[in-house]
Amino acid sequence: MEPIVTPPVRVLLIEDESAEARLFVALLTEGSQQRFAVEYAQTLQEGLACLAKGNVDAV
């Protein structure tokens, strides 16, 4: 029997500091069996545009 493959959780990260964003992604994925697909926006305006497109599970 093949293992069940679950799709990644789609996370929208809104953060203006790129170092903080990299840290968040590292913490999110470190030691986790869950897969994440992180979309990064530097401003609230960019984040809202990403949300308008849909396909986001968590912000």
Cα–Cα distance for residue pair 17/10, rounded to 1 Å: 20
Does residue 1 have a pLDDT over 90?
no
This prediction's pTM: 0.82
Query: How confident is the model at residue 53, as a pLDDT?
Result: 94
Cα–Cα distance for residue pair 59/48, rounded to 1 Å: 10
pLDDT in tens, 7-52: 999 999 999 999 999 999 999 888 778 899 999 999 999 999 999 9
Q: Does residue 51 contact residue 59 with C-beta atoms inside 8 Å?
A: yes
